[in-house]
Amino acid sequence: MPAGVAALAVLLAACAATPSTNPQEPAAAGQPSKAGAEAAEAALKRGDCREASEAYARLAAKGDAATARRATQVAVACEHLPAAWQSATRWRTLAPDDREANALYAAVALKLYRTADARGAIADFWRVEGQKNAAPAQTRSPGTAASPPAAPAPAPLAPTKAAARTARSMAELSALLVEESEASAVLIAMSGVLEPAANSPETFTLLGELALSAYDGERAAGYAHKALGYDPKDLAALRVLARAYVMRGDGSRALATARLAKSNDPRVGGLALAEVLASLDRSEEAHQELERLRGSGTSQVEIDRRLALLAFNSGDYKEARQRFNDLLSTGDGNDAIQLYLADIAAREGDTDTALAGYRRLYDSSVAVTARSRAAALLLERNSRVEALALLDDYAADHPEDELDITLVKAHLLADNGDGDGGLALLSSALERHPQHPSIEYDRAVILEQSGHVRESVEALRHILEKRPEDPTLLNALGYTMADHSLELTNAEALIRRALTVMPDNPAALDSLGWVRFRSGDLTSASSTLERAYSLGHDGEIAAHWGEVLWASGRQSEARQVWAAALARDPESKPLKATIKRLLPDAK
């Protein structure tokens, strides 16, 4: 993440210093009043994010760029999108060439699905970065003695190097935007700026990576081919191309591309080949490929880490546990490894060991995840008070994570039969974070989960009016309607609209398979769900695929699908519910 853009990850107390005025003098024009800034900061310190965001937005409306910057940082950290939009707009108006202003403006615009506005800020970011990288390098700091007159002037970077540096800056911006928004929206915005004038393999590879994140394998392959037009041996482009072929279901081309990468660079290409083999469910071959990399110069820790993840994702928890423990014993362990070990215990039904593992991570870099998973286990034990306190205590000490904690709590309550409690939490959250799309979306999901199907459909339709091309919303509405056999023709049309934007998204393909099943087309449903599962390996997709096979008279195949899926995800509630319904005597 670029240093100037890091404000999105900066927590409340660590934001830039509060703009202030000299206490002996009145505020100058364009500066916030001292009292106004102090009031906003006081609200922030007592955890009143809404008041802090709105107070700073009022100051920013008449303040200078520094005030607008602080206002934007606070509103973004507080997830107050109306205030963030107002402040970011003001900041960008005052500082149109500021890379951080353009980055945060684009991030907020994409959260609000204002794609055209985001595209404008991305274009300015790219323009400024391009100009900076093409300019001669500075040879001295301002204020130091000048170079002797005979010294040659610094030369500008070669065009290819300048373009590569600019592409790296755009990759940093892309990573930030994907973290904050839907990858499909980021791809639409970024490609509209970069594609027409792209002049480096790095830029096309970046677009290929974005297309993969947006589940568009065909588009990713196209970008990779353009990058390879500059250099047929470009490893990054070959890796994108191999993954694109996997996504499109062309395993033979994926393997051929990965092997070509390996022939060009045995170490990096070997890792790419192992990755492709794992994606194709050829775990043993992936294991062998990783073992062959020992002695190649590849980090032994990296090989062991990948072997551990391969075992974990394949459902071989015994091997995964051993490998993760070995990593810990060498001193190379970290919070993520300890989280995997706790997850293994949870998946094997060893709740006490899992809780002990999560407890060790309550104040770590993965604290929200660890506490959320521990709370889920405690709720299953009917320890509701302890579970909720575990989350509330953390939110009280970490107000920057309050929204994430609230969303987790709402879903946990709904998952454990208290949908009304979850909905009440979300209603309260909307007061603190007005018009927040994640809260509105999760509210619609929990309405359906709680049996309020018609209300859920209406809520999704209302959100879709504001974001008519949002593929996640299109898919959610289409699936909800299909799952309850409502307007199946319209439901399928919505899902297919989503798939035009993210054609290889496993969740959307699952929805398409499910609506075809509800419509009586078992053949199409089965093939679509098989492809969805190959891309996502999700327990709910396996449940759907198995049910279609079962309804088609292919009970033996259904059992095989369910058994394999249970090995990967033994705690999948949709999968276990489907098996219990169709095989009531199964253990």
Cβ burial of 319 (10 Å; 0-12, 13-18, 19+) is: middle
Confidence category of residue 26, pLDDT binned at 50, 70, 90: very low
Task: Say if residues 118 and 106 touch (Cβ distance below 8 Å).
Answer: yes
CATH fold for the domain made of 1-135+163-197: 1.25.40
Cβ burial of 11 (10 Å; 0-12, 13-18, 19+) is: exposed
DSSP codes of every residue in 36-93: HHHHHHHHHHTT-HHHHHHHHHHHHHHS-HHHHHHHHHHHHHTT-HHHHHHHHHHHHH
pLDDT, residue 34, reads: 81
Reduced 3-state DSSP string for 353-397: HHHHHHHCCCCCCCHHHHHHHHHHHHHHCCCHHHHHHHHHHHHHH
The more confidently predicted of residues 30 and 520 is: 520
| 547 Cα distance to chain centroid | 30
pLDDT, residue 158, reads: 57
pTM for this model (two decimals): 0.88
pLDDT, residue 27, reads: 45
Residue 22 clears pLDDT 80, i.e. is over it: no
The more confidently predicted of residues 437 and 47 is: 437
Q: Given this chain, do its domains 1-135+163-197 and 199-294 carry the same CATH topology? A: yes
Residue 374 clears pLDDT 70, i.e. is over it: yes
Confidence category of residue 509, pLDDT binned at 50, 70, 90: very high
Listed by start position, the domains of the chain span 1-135+163-197, 199-294
Average pLDDT, stretch 185-198? 95
- Please state, in angstroms and rounded to a whole number, the distance separating the CA atoms of residues 378 and 401: 21
Average pLDDT, stretch 313-339? 91
Residue 433 clears pLDDT 50, i.e. is over it: yes
Confidence category of residue 369, pLDDT binned at 50, 70, 90: very high
- Please state, in angstroms and rounded to a whole number, the distance separating the CA atoms of residues 567 and 283: 14
pLDDT, residue 585, reads: 81
Task: For residue range 246-294, list pLDDT tens digits in order.
Answer: 999 999 999 999 999 999 999 999 999 999 999 999 999 999 999 999 9
Rg (CA), the chain: 26
For the record, the structure tokens of 225 come out as: 């081919």
* CATH code 1.25.40.10 for 199-294: yes
Confidence category of residue 1, pLDDT binned at 50, 70, 90: very low
Task: For residue range 147-167, list pLDDT tens digits in order.
Answer: 444 445 444 445 678 888 899
User: What is the sign, positive or negative, of the torsion defined by CA atoms of 423, 428, 433, 434?
Assistant: positive
Residue 4 clears pLDDT 90, i.e. is over it: no
Average pLDDT, stretch 297-314? 94
Average pLDDT, stretch 329-333? 74
